[in-house]
Amino acid sequence: MIPSATPELPDLAGMTLVDVEALVARLGWPKFRSEQVWRWVHDKGARSFDEMTNLSAAQRGELATHTRVGSLTVAEVQTSRDGTQKLRLVTRDGFSIESVLIPDGEKTTQCISSQVGCAVDCQFCATAKLGLKRNLDASEIVDQVYLGRKLLADAGPERRITNIVYMGMGEPLHNYDNLIRSLQILTHNLGAKLSQRRITVSTSGLVPKLERLGNELVRPNLAVSLNAANDAIRDEIMPINRKWNIAKLLGALRAYPLEHRRRITFEYVLLAGVNDSLTDAAQLARLLRDVKCKVNIIPYNPHPEAPYARPSDAAVDAFQNECKRLGMATYLRRPRGDDIDAACGQLANRAQGGAAIVPLRIRKGPPPAPAVD
C-alpha cells in the first residue's frame, strides 16, 4: 500500500456533498445546512469557520470540533518572466509540494500534484529523484485549486482558473481513490463547477487503472506520458515500461471509451540523441496510426538531477515536421516557467536560490516504503 496522510479531523475540502449531508444529519442540524457549509468551502473558498456567517457561533464551534478547513499553507510563490507562477505548498505534516499557474490569454491552467514525490522513477523527471513520501488525500489535491483560485482573485477579478491538469508531482493513478474523489468535488455544480472536459489526468501508463478510469461517471481527458516509440528506449527512460510495455499500454488505450470529439493525448518529451531522430518520428507515427489521439511534443526541460539535454530548435522542428508529414496531429509545447523550475519535469521543491528543499517529516516512525501497484 502507498502511504497516505496521518488520520485526523476530516477536512471539509475533501468531503463530497453527500459526506457533508451525513455530517449535518449526525449533528442534528436541518438538511439545508449541508449546502450552506458545502458552498462556503467549495464555492466561496472559506478557509476558517468564522467566515461562515450564516451559521451561528455555536454551530461554527460545533463544526470545528468535528472537522477542519484548509489542508495546505502557501510557503512560497515564484513568478516566471513569462507570467507563470509556482506555488510551494506545505501540508499539515510538514511536506512540501508544488503547483503551477500557467496564464494563456484569458485562460489560466493550473497544474496540480497528486503525491508527495513519485515512485515511477522516470529518468528525465526531477520529481522522481525525490522518491515517494506519501499520497495526497483528496482535500490536499482540492486545496491546491482553491489556493490557486484565491491567488488569482487577489490579482484581479478578471483572472480565474479555467483548466486543471493533474501533471504535477506524482502519478495520479497510483493515488486512484483520492484522484476520483477530488474530481467529483471539483466538477460539482454547487462548488468549483469545473467542466470535466477542461480537466486532464496524466499517467505514465498504469494499465489496470486505465480500465477503472474509463468506467467512472466523472471521466476527465486522458494524457499518457509515452516518450518513446519502442520498448528498448522506453525501458531505459521509463522503468514502468518493464511491467506494462507499449503493447499492453496501447491495448488498454484502444479499449478506453472516448466520448465524441475527445482524443487521447500522448506526451512525448524530446531528449537529444535519445528519442528525437526522424526514425523515432516515423516509428511513432506507425505505432499510433490506429489510435484516436494527438501528440504533445515537449522539448526536454533541463535540471541537475538528469544527464539529458534539450534538442536544438532545428531538431525539434524536424521531428515535428516529420510527424506531421506522416499524418500525425502534433502540437509543440514550448517551456513555460522553466526559469523558476516550474516547467514539465522540473518540479522538485526548489527554493528561489535553486537549492532543493528537503521535506520535513513531523510524523514519527520509520519512513514508508514506496510501492508500485
Count other Cβ atoms within 10 Å, centred on residue 256.
Answer: 18
Grid cell in block for residue 123: 529518468
CB 255 within 8 A of CB 211: yes
CB 227 within 8 A of CB 267: yes
Grid cell in block for residue 327: 499524418
DSSP annotation of 90 reads: E
Grid cell in block for residue 198: 477542461
Grid cell in block for residue 259: 466520448
From the list 166, 46, 71, the residue with the least C-alpha distance to 114 is 166
Q: What distances in angstroms separate CA 132 from CA 116, 119, 225, one per listed residue?
A: 6, 5, 19
CB 188 within 8 A of CB 175: no
Does the active-site annotation cover 111? no
Does the active-site annotation cover 98? yes
CA atoms within 13 A on the CB side of 15: 24
From the list 225, 227, 200, 226, the residue with the least C-alpha distance to 213 is 200
Catalytic residue, from 98, 140, 267, 322: name it.
98
Residue 73, SS3 per DSSP: strand
CB 305 within 8 A of CB 348: yes
* DSSP assignment of 209-228: HHHHHHT-SS--EEEEE---
Catalytic residue, from 125, 293, 323, 344: name it.
344
Catalytically active residues are 98, 344
